[in-house]
Chain A
């Protein structure tokens, strides 16, 4: 456990020692801020209009602002993840620092979980930028807190899942660009899976649809905590990290 924390801390230091962490946080903050602005503007306009018409429509901050924003954030995450994970192990392989890790009395799983944990904390920091905007809603409105928390939990689980896949891909190459590119492609693929199969009802489509990482976000966005989705994300994380440990082991045999 101490090793996991040690490696996690080191990864975070590396992220924050380079501009990458700040850049990702700034860009995400900017994009999310823009989306937030559009969503609230429309919301306010709509509520004025319905008041002027004299017939008040039922309005809900959670449903009309937060839910689409969470969906927006989950899409942006597809772009963030490759940039976070591409260096994780690929860089250590290229510079040879992997030899330090693999000749120290540290277990493979400690290295992998430590690195993945570091990536998740950075990802959480990036997501944290959106809280500035969400906090405003709480200051001047009365949204429900629980669906917001569940939504963020969903974002974290989805992120953890994609980050685990990214960690695996980063283990298989020395080249950061390739690691990033392939991760990006895989993220997109998982995203698109849900498009192709949304209206099919065959078994194959159902399975493919189930595998799409994005579809499992829907419930979280609604503020519904379904154990089915949690189990899906956790098992995907476990599977990806397991694959990573196999890939690490194969470094030894092939190197």
Chain B
């Protein structure tokens, strides 16, 4: 449905999007994930025809974004980061305007407007001025505007940003209800968002594609390695934190040791293992053999959050090192 090949967008000094390629199948919900400023919005704007790409190709439903923008625009519903609303218009009036802009005929517009209002549960506010609506309702009017012409592809830029938890759940449910008939790309920097509503994730950081996979695969990919929270209680200042850390790092199979906390005479570490290595028993043995008090040893699951940080963090490190050279 959506095909992106080698997409690059350069501004005067910065590269916002750097050689990104991905594909989205019909009917999928894809989460577009990345820290702020990663290039999510730019990529979406290129897909919607709002911005041209510097290099590379993007096509939606078989139409090239650059060569036949009108055909693409007819098939896309787009919710920008700030919903494009006119505060002086009533909700139904606005939706009729947006619908007609997207090519719905005058004969059809009333029915389509009612349909969109129904699907986004805007019935209560349909004749209110948009300027007087709460943030949650505005976001929903924005979504209604995106789905009114029944597009094949929905592109939503941070659909849940700035909403309260109840509203977020409502929007999620709405997205789930829409997912059957539409292909949806939604961008977010909130990971739980992706875990909840997406089938696939595309992670970008600093304009580069870092990972793309199904949500399940991504979490599995790093499940092979384990993370362990470890608490050592020193007696009379022995051992020192650095000493413990060094000793732990020497344990075979350990990839990383992080000092988490050192209050009330307790030293808390988080230890991560290499892929497919069990390190818990070895860690326990090391601590006890050294004659220290082992207070706690507990496995911590790697969440999507950690994966994300690992992927994007590593990327940033490379970049910095590259800069030094």
Contact = CB atoms under 8 A, between A and B. Distances in A.
Interface stretch (B44-52, B115-123, B176-184, B278-286): B44-52
A228 to B, nearest CB: 39
Interface string A203-237: 00000000000000000000000000000000000
Q: Quick one: which of A7, A13, A99, A253 has the most chain B CB within 10 A?
A: A99
B73 interface: yes
A102 B45 CA distance: 10
Interface in A1-29: 2-3, 6-7, 10, 13-14, 17-18
B215 interface: no
Contacts of A6: 97, 100-101
Nearest to A110: B101
Given A17-B88, A252-B52, A253-B52, A104 B80 contact: no
A100 B52 contact: no
Given A18-B88, A252-B52, A100 B82 contact: no
B84 interface: yes
B172 interface: no
B86 interface: yes
- Pick the most buried of B50, B89, B102, B145: most chain A CB atoms within 10 A of its CB: B50
Contact of B80 (A3, A13, A99, A106): A99
B294 interface: no
A97 B101 contact: no
Interface in A101-118: 101-107
Interface in A162-185: none
A3 B101 contact: yes
A241 to B, nearest CB: 20
B70 A105 contact: yes
Given A97-B86, A103-B78, A2 B50 contact: no
Given A3-B101, A6-B100, A6-B101, A100 B51 contact: no
Contacts of B70: 105, 107
Interface in B43-101: 45, 48-52, 70, 73-74, 76, 78, 80-82, 84-86, 88-89, 93, 97-98, 100-101
B100 A97 contact: no
Nearest to B105: A2
Contacts of B81: 96
B52 A99 contact: no
Interface string A80-104: 0000000000000001111111111
Interface string A238-255: 000000000000001101
Contact of B48 (A2, A10, A95, A103): A103
Interface string B243-262: 00000000000000000000
B103 interface: yes
Contact of B88 (A7, A14, A102, A107): A14
B133 to A, nearest CB: 15
Given A99-B50, A102-B50, A14 B86 contact: yes
A98 B45 CA distance: 12
A118 B216 CA distance: 53
A105 B74 contact: yes
Contacts of B103: 105
Interface of A: 2-3, 6-7, 10, 13-14, 17-18, 95-107, 252-253, 255
Question: Closest 10 interchain pairs by CB?
Answer: A100-B84, A104-B101, A105-B73, A97-B84, A17-B88, A103-B48, A99-B80, A96-B82, A105-B74, A103-B78
27 contacts: A10-B97, A17-B89, A95-B84, A95-B85, A95-B86, A96-B80, A96-B81, A96-B82, A96-B84, A97-B84, A97-B85, A98-B84, A99-B50, A99-B78, A99-B80, A99-B84, A100-B98, A100-B101, A100-B145, A101-B101, A103-B49, A103-B76, A103-B78, A104-B73, A105-B73, A252-B50, A255-B50
Given A3-B100, A105-B70, 15 more contacts: A3-B101, A10-B97, A95-B84, A95-B86, A96-B84, A97-B85, A98-B84, A100-B145, A102-B50, A104-B98, A105-B101, A105-B103, A107-B70, A252-B50, A252-B52
